[in-house]
Amino acid sequence: MNYLKNQRIVMLLLILAGLSSSCTKLDLSPTDTIDPTKAFRNAEDVNMGILGVYNLIDNDLGELSSTVSDENMYPIENTVGNSDAFRWTYTGANGSVTSFYYQSYQAIDRANRVLAGMEKLNNTGEEALLNQYKGELLALRGYLHFELARAYASGYEAGQMGMAYMTVSEISYPAREDFMSYIGKVKADLQAAKPLVEPGLNKVNRINKTAVAAIQARVALYEKNWPDAITYSSEVINSLPLAARAEFKDIWTDKSNKEVAWKLSRPVGTDLSSIGAFYFRQSGGYVLLAPSFKLINSFDVNNDIRFTAYIQHDPNRPGNKSKYLVNKFAGSAANPGLVDIKLFRTGEMYLIRAEAKAESQGDANADLNALRQARIAGYSPVNLTNKTDLLNAIALERFKELAFEGHRFFDLKRHKKNVERLDEDVVNASGAKTLTPAQAQYNLPLPNLEVQVNKNIKQNPNY
C-alpha cells in the first residue's frame, strides 16, 4: 500500500472517528472537518471506510478469556497488570473487562456510517463491487454484535439480557434486548450479507462467504440451534479441510492459511497490536500469562502437535519464573509476538458440528475422531455411546484445540459450569480458585459510565 493510500485511510479514519463523537451545537456546520455526506464518493472510499472497521477488531475476547478462565495462570513474575481480571475483582469501573464494549460499538458505528454513505452513491459503474462491500459491512456488523453478546450478555437463552442492536448511527439511549431477539438480528445481517460477499477464499484477511458460514455456525451453537449449527459448520468443513499434522504449526507462524476461514492481518511496520505481547513482555523478558497446568495436563505432550504449537517449555528460565510460555503467538525472532489473528478455523467447525450432533442426533464420534486424528500421532478412534461422556470429551477437545483463541470462559458460561482452577494455577491469584454462576464476575460487567448515562440500560446481575 503506497503512501498516498495510507494517507487516505488515515483521513477516512479521522472522519469516522469524528463522526462517532457528538456535538452539542448541532445547528453548526464545523469548518475544520469534511462534510460526512461527501466522505464516500466511490468504491475506493467505501473500501477505506471498511478498513476503518477492521482496524478496531482485535483479539479482545481471546485476551479476556485467557485472563478470567482456567486456561492460563498469573505467574509470580508478572507485577505489571491484569490482576483484577485474573483474580475476579473487576467491576464496571475496570477497563480490563469493559474496553471491549466501547471498541465494539465504535466499530459498529463506523460500519453503520459507511453503509449510510453508500446509499447516496448512484451510477458509479461500480455497483457489483459496492454490493460486495455492503455484504462485508453487514457481516461485520452481525459479527461485532454477536461478539458483544458473547462477552456481555447475562446468559445465552431466552429471558436473558442481550445487548442493544444498532443499525443506524445516532445518539440514543437504547435498552438491552432479550438475547434471542437480539440473536435474530445478528442472523438477519449475516443472512443478508452472505450472497453479497466474496465467494472464494483468496482473501482470508477479509470476510468471505466461508467466513460468514463460520460465524453462522458459532451463532447457532450459542442459540442451541443444532440443525443450523450442523448445516453451517458442514458448509465450512466442505470448503476448507483440516490442515495436515505436518502443516499445522505453519498456521501459527503465518506460513500457511490452511483451515483458516478468516483472520486479521498484522503486517510488519504498522501500529496494529502484537497479539503475543499480551502473554510475554519482551522488555525484561516477563511472562505475563502462562499456560495453566490444567491445560498442560490435558495434552498428550509427546504425540499431540498442538502442545508444541501452542506451548513452549523452557526449563532453563531461572528461579521462580514460569517454565511454560504461550507459544501460539510467538511470532518470529525479527518480530516477536507479531502474527495474524485467526478468528475462524475448520478445527472449531468440527467441534461445533460434533457438539450439535451429540445434542441432537447422537453420532458425534466421527467428527471428534477426525479432529484428533489430524492432531495426535498414533491416535486410536473412540466410540462413546453415553451422551454425557461425549459432551465432556467435546468440551475437553475445545479446551485444547481453541486454547487462547477466546472460547474457554464463554464455553463454561454456555454450560453454566464453574471456572475451576488447580491449586498450582492460583499461586498468584489471591484465592481466586473457583468462580460460580452465582457470582457477579461470572458475567462481565457493562461499563459503569454507560449505565450511569443511559438510564434505559441495565447492568448485569449482582454488580
pLDDT in tens, 34-44: 455 677 889 99
> What average pLDDT does the segment 112-132 reach?
91
Backbone angles phi, psi at 244, to 5 degrees: -65, 155
User: In this model, does residue 6 exceed pLDDT 90?
Assistant: no
> What average pLDDT does the segment 323-330 reach?
97
Kindly report, residue by residue over 162-213, the tens digit of the pLDDT. Answer: 999 999 999 999 999 999 999 999 999 999 999 999 898 788 999 999 999 9
Bridge-based pairing state of the strands 280-281 and 286-287: antiparallel
- Supply the pLDDT for residue 201: 79
Which H or E element spans position 434?
A: strand 434-435
Q: Which residues pair with 280 in a beta bridge?
A: 287
- Supply the pLDDT for residue 315: 96
User: In this model, does residue 29 exceed pLDDT 60?
Assistant: no
Instruction: Locate the domains of the chain by residue range.
Output: 43-80+91-453
Give the burial class of 216: count Cβ atoms within 10 A of its Cβ; 0-12 exposed, 13-18 middle, 19 or more buried: buried
> What average pLDDT does the segment 119-146 reach?
94
- Supply the pLDDT for residue 25: 27
CATH fold label, 43-80+91-453: 1.25.40
Rg of the chain over all Cα atoms, to the nearest angstrom: 22
Q: What percent of the chain has pLDDT over 70?
A: 92
> What average pLDDT does the segment 410-418 reach?
99
Residue 30 pLDDT level (bands cut at 50, 70, 90): very low
- Supply the pLDDT for residue 37: 64
- Supply the pLDDT for residue 224: 99
DSSP 8-state class, residue 71? S
Residues 6+ apart with CB under 8 A from 274: 266, 331, 335, 336, 337, 338
